[in-house]
Protein backbone atom coordinates (compact mmCIF):
# COMPACT_ATOMS: atom_id res chain seq x y z
CA UNK A 1 0.00 0.00 0.00
CA UNK A 2 1.25 3.47 -0.86
CA UNK A 3 2.34 5.64 2.08
CA UNK A 4 1.62 9.31 2.63
CA UNK A 5 5.35 10.04 2.48
CA UNK A 6 5.57 8.42 -0.95
CA UNK A 7 2.71 10.60 -2.16
CA UNK A 8 4.51 13.67 -0.79
CA UNK A 9 7.62 12.60 -2.70
CA UNK A 10 5.54 12.19 -5.86
CA UNK A 11 4.11 15.72 -5.53
CA UNK A 12 7.52 17.20 -4.69
CA UNK A 13 9.12 15.68 -7.81
CA UNK A 14 6.25 16.92 -9.96
CA UNK A 15 6.63 20.46 -8.58
CA UNK A 16 10.42 20.51 -8.86
CA UNK A 17 10.66 18.93 -12.30
CA UNK A 18 13.72 16.92 -11.33
CA UNK A 19 14.72 14.27 -8.80
CA UNK A 20 17.79 16.24 -7.73
CA UNK A 21 15.91 19.45 -6.95
CA UNK A 22 13.12 17.56 -5.20
CA UNK A 23 15.64 15.72 -3.03
CA UNK A 24 17.25 19.03 -2.05
CA UNK A 25 13.87 20.56 -1.10
CA UNK A 26 12.87 17.50 0.90
CA UNK A 27 16.23 17.11 2.63
CA UNK A 28 16.70 13.48 1.50
CA UNK A 29 19.21 11.80 -0.79
CA UNK A 30 18.40 11.28 -4.44
CA UNK A 31 18.77 7.47 -4.18
CA UNK A 32 16.23 7.43 -1.31
CA UNK A 33 13.82 9.44 -3.44
CA UNK A 34 14.33 7.14 -6.42
CA UNK A 35 13.69 3.99 -4.35
CA UNK A 36 10.49 5.42 -2.86
CA UNK A 37 9.25 6.58 -6.27
CA UNK A 38 9.79 3.13 -7.76
CA UNK A 39 7.99 1.53 -4.83
CA UNK A 40 5.02 3.87 -5.34
CA UNK A 41 4.91 3.12 -9.07
CA UNK A 42 4.94 -0.62 -8.34
CA UNK A 43 2.06 -0.32 -5.87
CA UNK A 44 0.00 1.82 -8.26
CA UNK A 45 0.96 -0.12 -11.37
CA UNK A 46 1.56 3.17 -13.18
CA UNK A 47 4.73 4.84 -14.42
CA UNK A 48 4.47 8.35 -13.00
CA UNK A 49 7.44 10.07 -14.63
CA UNK A 50 9.36 10.07 -17.87
CA UNK A 51 13.03 10.45 -16.95
CA UNK A 52 15.43 12.25 -19.28
CA UNK A 53 18.93 13.61 -18.73
CA UNK A 54 17.65 17.17 -18.32
CA UNK A 55 14.26 16.74 -16.62
CA UNK A 56 11.76 14.47 -14.94
CA UNK A 57 8.42 14.85 -16.72
CA UNK A 58 5.00 13.64 -15.67
CA UNK A 59 3.51 10.87 -17.79
CA UNK A 60 -0.19 11.10 -18.74
CA UNK A 61 -0.89 8.68 -15.88
CA UNK A 62 1.13 10.85 -13.49
CA UNK A 63 -0.78 13.97 -14.56
CA UNK A 64 -4.05 12.19 -13.93
CA UNK A 65 -3.09 11.07 -10.42
CA UNK A 66 -1.37 14.27 -9.27
CA UNK A 67 -4.54 16.22 -8.28
CA UNK A 68 -5.77 13.26 -6.20
CA UNK A 69 -2.39 12.96 -4.49
CA UNK A 70 -2.50 16.67 -3.61
CA UNK A 71 -6.04 16.27 -2.26
CA UNK A 72 -5.05 13.31 -0.05
CA UNK A 73 -2.09 15.22 1.39
CA UNK A 74 -4.29 18.25 2.07
CA UNK A 75 -6.86 16.02 3.83
CA UNK A 76 -4.15 14.53 6.02
CA UNK A 77 -2.88 17.98 6.95
CA UNK A 78 -6.41 18.97 7.92
CA UNK A 79 -6.59 15.91 10.19
CA UNK A 80 -3.30 16.90 11.86
CA UNK A 81 -4.49 20.49 12.19
CA UNK A 82 -7.77 19.38 13.74
CA UNK A 83 -5.89 17.21 16.21
CA UNK A 84 -3.79 20.21 17.22
CA UNK A 85 -6.96 22.21 17.76
CA UNK A 86 -8.30 19.55 20.10
CA UNK A 87 -5.21 20.06 22.26
CA UNK A 88 -4.25 23.72 21.83
CA UNK A 89 -3.92 25.53 18.52
CA UNK A 90 -1.21 27.91 19.73
CA UNK A 91 1.19 24.95 20.10
CA UNK A 92 1.01 24.13 16.38
CA UNK A 93 3.49 24.92 13.64
CA UNK A 94 1.92 26.95 10.84
CA UNK A 95 3.41 27.54 7.41
CA UNK A 96 3.40 31.24 6.53
CA UNK A 97 4.08 32.42 2.99
CA UNK A 98 5.23 35.97 2.20
CA UNK A 99 6.68 37.64 -0.91
CA UNK A 100 10.39 38.47 -1.02
CA UNK A 101 9.55 42.17 -1.43
CA UNK A 102 7.64 42.24 1.88
CA UNK A 103 8.67 39.52 4.36
CA UNK A 104 12.14 40.75 5.39
CA UNK A 105 10.82 44.28 5.99
CA UNK A 106 7.53 43.47 7.75
CA UNK A 107 8.11 40.35 9.82
CA UNK A 108 10.80 41.79 12.14
CA UNK A 109 8.12 44.19 13.38
CA UNK A 110 5.50 41.44 13.81
CA UNK A 111 7.23 38.30 15.07
CA UNK A 112 8.36 39.48 18.53
CA UNK A 113 4.82 40.55 19.40
CA UNK A 114 3.33 37.36 17.97
CA UNK A 115 5.66 35.20 20.04
CA UNK A 116 4.88 37.22 23.13
CA UNK A 117 1.12 36.90 22.60
CA UNK A 118 1.17 33.24 21.47
CA UNK A 119 4.21 31.89 23.30
CA UNK A 120 4.02 28.33 21.94
CA UNK A 121 3.17 29.34 18.38
CA UNK A 122 5.69 28.29 15.73
CA UNK A 123 5.74 29.87 12.28
CA UNK A 124 7.64 28.25 9.43
CA UNK A 125 8.17 31.17 7.05
CA UNK A 126 8.90 30.74 3.36
CA UNK A 127 9.29 33.46 0.74
CA UNK A 128 7.68 33.08 -2.66
CA UNK A 129 6.28 35.27 -5.44
CA UNK A 130 2.58 36.23 -4.96
CA UNK A 131 1.14 34.02 -7.71
CA UNK A 132 2.87 30.98 -6.22
CA UNK A 133 1.80 32.00 -2.71
CA UNK A 134 -1.87 31.85 -3.67
CA UNK A 135 -1.39 28.56 -5.52
CA UNK A 136 0.50 27.13 -2.54
CA UNK A 137 -2.25 28.22 -0.16
CA UNK A 138 -4.94 26.56 -2.26
CA UNK A 139 -2.91 23.33 -2.50
CA UNK A 140 -2.05 23.20 1.21
CA UNK A 141 1.64 24.09 0.98
CA UNK A 142 0.93 27.19 3.09
CA UNK A 143 -1.52 27.63 5.97
CA UNK A 144 -1.36 31.42 5.90
CA UNK A 145 -0.25 34.05 3.42
CA UNK A 146 0.48 37.76 3.81
CA UNK A 147 0.97 39.72 0.61
CA UNK A 148 -0.29 42.03 -2.16
CA UNK A 149 -2.93 39.63 -3.47
CA UNK A 150 -6.15 41.38 -4.51
CA UNK A 151 -8.20 38.62 -6.17
CA UNK A 152 -8.80 35.24 -4.55
CA UNK A 153 -11.05 32.23 -5.31
CA UNK A 154 -14.11 31.42 -3.22
CA UNK A 155 -12.18 28.84 -1.18
CA UNK A 156 -9.82 31.51 0.19
CA UNK A 157 -10.58 34.21 2.77
CA UNK A 158 -8.91 37.58 2.17
CA UNK A 159 -8.68 39.90 5.18
CA UNK A 160 -7.27 43.39 4.41
CA UNK A 161 -4.21 44.39 6.44
CA UNK A 162 -2.61 47.63 5.27
CA UNK A 163 -1.85 49.96 2.39
CA UNK A 164 1.85 50.56 1.68
CA UNK A 165 3.00 53.69 -0.22
CA UNK A 166 5.53 53.49 -3.03
CA UNK A 167 8.35 56.05 -3.09
CA UNK A 168 10.35 57.30 -6.05
CA UNK A 169 14.07 56.50 -5.74
CA UNK A 170 16.58 58.44 -7.83
CA UNK A 171 20.36 58.98 -7.85
CA UNK A 172 21.39 61.94 -5.70
CA UNK A 173 23.04 63.68 -8.66
CA UNK A 174 19.98 63.44 -10.93
CA UNK A 175 18.02 66.62 -11.62
CA UNK A 176 14.50 65.98 -10.33
CA UNK A 177 12.15 68.47 -8.61
CA UNK A 178 12.42 69.08 -4.83
CA UNK A 179 11.12 66.44 -2.43
CA UNK A 180 7.65 67.90 -2.02
CA UNK A 181 7.09 68.89 -5.64
CA UNK A 182 7.74 65.91 -7.90
CA UNK A 183 4.56 64.82 -9.68
CA UNK A 184 3.39 62.46 -12.37
CA UNK A 185 4.10 64.96 -15.15
CA UNK A 186 7.77 64.99 -14.14
CA UNK A 187 8.12 61.28 -14.94
CA UNK A 188 7.30 61.64 -18.63
CA UNK A 189 10.15 60.22 -20.71
CA UNK A 190 12.22 59.10 -17.71
CA UNK A 191 13.71 55.58 -17.47
CA UNK A 192 12.06 53.43 -14.76
CA UNK A 193 13.56 50.20 -13.41
CA UNK A 194 11.53 47.37 -11.90
CA UNK A 195 11.79 43.90 -10.42
CA UNK A 196 11.10 40.95 -12.69
CA UNK A 197 7.64 40.02 -13.91
CA UNK A 198 7.01 37.37 -11.24
CA UNK A 199 6.29 40.16 -8.74
CA UNK A 200 3.01 42.06 -8.47
CA UNK A 201 5.12 45.15 -7.77
CA UNK A 202 6.23 45.08 -11.40
CA UNK A 203 2.62 45.16 -12.59
CA UNK A 204 2.02 48.21 -10.40
CA UNK A 205 5.09 49.93 -11.87
CA UNK A 206 3.92 49.07 -15.40
CA UNK A 207 0.61 50.79 -14.60
CA UNK A 208 2.43 53.87 -13.31
CA UNK A 209 4.56 54.05 -16.47
CA UNK A 210 1.52 53.80 -18.74
CA UNK A 211 -0.24 56.49 -16.74
CA UNK A 212 2.66 58.97 -16.58
CA UNK A 213 4.47 58.44 -19.87
CA UNK A 214 7.61 57.10 -18.20
CA UNK A 215 9.63 54.39 -19.99
CA UNK A 216 9.89 50.99 -18.32
CA UNK A 217 13.37 49.58 -18.88
CA UNK A 218 12.85 45.97 -20.01
CA UNK A 219 16.56 45.35 -20.62
CA UNK A 220 17.47 45.34 -16.93
CA UNK A 221 15.33 43.72 -14.23
CA UNK A 222 16.06 43.56 -10.54
CA UNK A 223 15.79 40.13 -8.95
CA UNK A 224 15.28 41.78 -5.55
CA UNK A 225 14.66 45.22 -4.06
CA UNK A 226 18.32 45.38 -3.01
CA UNK A 227 19.40 44.79 -6.61
CA UNK A 228 16.96 47.44 -7.78
CA UNK A 229 18.35 49.94 -5.28
CA UNK A 230 21.92 49.31 -6.43
CA UNK A 231 20.89 49.82 -10.06
CA UNK A 232 19.45 53.23 -9.13
CA UNK A 233 22.60 54.18 -7.19
CA UNK A 234 24.67 53.34 -10.28
CA UNK A 235 22.57 55.76 -12.33
CA UNK A 236 20.80 53.18 -14.50
CA UNK A 237 17.39 54.76 -13.91
CA UNK A 238 14.73 55.49 -11.30
CA UNK A 239 12.64 53.00 -9.34
CA UNK A 240 9.62 52.77 -7.07
CA UNK A 241 10.45 51.27 -3.67
CA UNK A 242 7.88 50.12 -1.08
CA UNK A 243 7.69 52.17 2.13
CA UNK A 244 8.57 49.26 4.45
CA UNK A 245 11.70 48.56 2.44
CA UNK A 246 12.68 52.23 2.63
CA UNK A 247 12.06 52.25 6.38
CA UNK A 248 14.17 49.13 6.89
CA UNK A 249 17.01 49.46 4.39
CA UNK A 250 17.62 53.06 3.30
CA UNK A 251 20.08 54.34 5.90
CA UNK A 252 22.45 56.35 3.70
CA UNK A 253 20.54 59.25 2.07
CA UNK A 254 23.75 60.50 0.48
CA UNK A 255 23.61 57.50 -1.91
CA UNK A 256 19.96 57.63 -2.90
CA UNK A 257 17.17 60.18 -2.90
CA UNK A 258 13.75 58.80 -1.90
CA UNK A 259 10.64 60.93 -2.18
CA UNK A 260 6.86 60.68 -2.54
CA UNK A 261 5.19 61.29 -5.89
CA UNK A 262 2.36 63.81 -5.73
CA UNK A 263 -0.96 62.52 -7.08
CA UNK A 264 -1.87 59.14 -8.51
CA UNK A 265 -2.47 55.78 -6.88
CA UNK A 266 1.03 54.98 -5.69
CA UNK A 267 0.63 52.22 -3.16
CA UNK A 268 0.07 48.49 -2.87
CA UNK A 269 -2.40 46.76 -0.57
CA UNK A 270 -1.52 43.73 1.52
CA UNK A 271 -3.92 41.16 2.90
CA UNK A 272 -3.98 38.19 5.27
CA UNK A 273 -5.19 35.01 3.54
CA UNK A 274 -6.22 31.54 4.66
CA UNK A 275 -8.43 28.71 3.40
CA UNK A 276 -12.11 29.26 4.14
CA UNK A 277 -12.73 25.80 5.60
CA UNK A 278 -9.42 25.33 7.44
CA UNK A 279 -9.94 23.77 10.88
CA UNK A 280 -7.92 26.59 12.47
CA UNK A 281 -9.88 29.41 10.83
CA UNK A 282 -11.07 30.80 14.18
CA UNK A 283 -7.47 30.99 15.36
CA UNK A 284 -6.48 32.60 12.05
CA UNK A 285 -9.04 35.35 12.65
CA UNK A 286 -7.49 35.91 16.07
CA UNK A 287 -4.02 36.08 14.49
CA UNK A 288 -5.23 38.53 11.86
CA UNK A 289 -6.73 40.78 14.52
CA UNK A 290 -3.51 40.78 16.53
CA UNK A 291 -1.34 41.46 13.46
CA UNK A 292 -3.57 44.37 12.48
CA UNK A 293 -3.28 45.80 16.01
CA UNK A 294 0.52 45.57 15.90
CA UNK A 295 0.63 47.31 12.52
CA UNK A 296 -1.65 50.09 13.81
CA UNK A 297 0.51 50.52 16.90
CA UNK A 298 4.02 50.22 15.47
CA UNK A 299 3.89 50.92 11.74
CA UNK A 300 1.15 53.53 11.24
CA UNK A 301 3.82 56.16 10.54
CA UNK A 302 4.81 54.18 7.44
CA UNK A 303 1.70 52.32 6.24
CA UNK A 304 -2.09 52.80 6.47
CA UNK A 305 -3.89 50.00 8.40
CA UNK A 306 -7.02 48.64 6.71
CA UNK A 307 -10.06 46.70 7.86
C-alpha 124 chain-centroid distance: 13
Distances, alpha carbon 6 to alpha carbons 61, 65, 96, 136, in Å: 16, 13, 24, 19
pLDDT reported for residue 262: 72
Let me know: does 137 contact 277? Beta carbons within 8 Å: no
Residue 176 has pLDDT above 60, yes or no: no
What average pLDDT does the chain have? 86
CATH topology assigned to domain 94-162+268-305: D-Maltodextrin-Binding Protein; domain 2 (3.40.190)
β-strand pairing of 238-242 with 156-171: antiparallel
Domain 4-82 has CATH 3.80.10.10: no
Q: Which residues, other chains included, contact 133 with Cβ-Cβ below 8 Å and sequence gap of 6+?
A: 97, 98, 99, 142, 145, 147, 149
pLDDT reported for residue 76: 83
| CA separation for the pair 264, 271 (Å, rounded) | 21
The ranges of the chain annotated as CATH 1.10.10.10 are 4-82
Q: Which residues, other chains included, contact 64 with Cβ-Cβ below 8 Å and sequence gap of 6+?
A: none
| CA separation for the pair 221, 231 (Å, rounded) | 9
- Of the options 3.90.1150.10, 3.40.50.150, 3.40.190.10, 3.50.50.60, the CATH number for the domain spanning 165-265: 3.40.190.10
pLDDT reported for residue 84: 64
Residue 264 has pLDDT above 70, yes or no: no
Residue 115 has pLDDT above 70, yes or no: yes
The ranges of the chain annotated as CATH 3.40.190.10 are 94-162+268-305, 165-265
Let me know: does 161 contact 295? Beta carbons within 8 Å: yes
- Which among 287, 27, 242 has a CA at the least distance from the CA of 5? 27
Please give the radius of gyration of the chain, using alpha carbons only, rounded to the nearest integer. 23
| CA separation for the pair 199, 98 (Å, rounded) | 12
Stretch 44-69: mean pLDDT: 87
pLDDT in tens, 78-93: 777 666 654 555 556 8
pLDDT reported for residue 101: 92
Q: Which residues pair with 194 in a beta bridge?
A: 221
Distances, alpha carbon 247 to alpha carbons 109, 190, 251, in Å: 11, 25, 8
Please state, as a whole number, how many other Cβ atoms lie within 10 Å of the Cβ of residue 58: 17
Residue 185 has pLDDT above 80, yes or no: no
| CA separation for the pair 245, 225 (Å, rounded) | 8
Give the 3-state secondary structure of residue 199.
coil
Let me know: does 161 contact 267? Beta carbons within 8 Å: no
Task: Express as a percent the part of the chain with pLDDT over 90.
Answer: 33
Helices (H), 88-199: 103-117, 130-138
pLDDT in tens, 216-230: 988 888 888 999 899
Please state, as a whole number, how many other Cβ atoms lie within 10 Å of the Cβ of residue 241: 23
Tell me the whole-structure pTM to 2 decimals: 0.70
Amino acid sequence: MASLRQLEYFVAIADAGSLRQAAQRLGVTQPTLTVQLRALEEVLGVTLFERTRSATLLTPGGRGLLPEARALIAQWRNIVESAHLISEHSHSTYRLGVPQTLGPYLLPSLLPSLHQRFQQLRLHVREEVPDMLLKGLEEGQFDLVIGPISTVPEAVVREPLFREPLFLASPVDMAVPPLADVGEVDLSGLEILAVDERHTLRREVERICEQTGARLNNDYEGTSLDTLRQMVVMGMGLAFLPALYVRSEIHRPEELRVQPLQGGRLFREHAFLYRRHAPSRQFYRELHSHIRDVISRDLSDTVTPLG
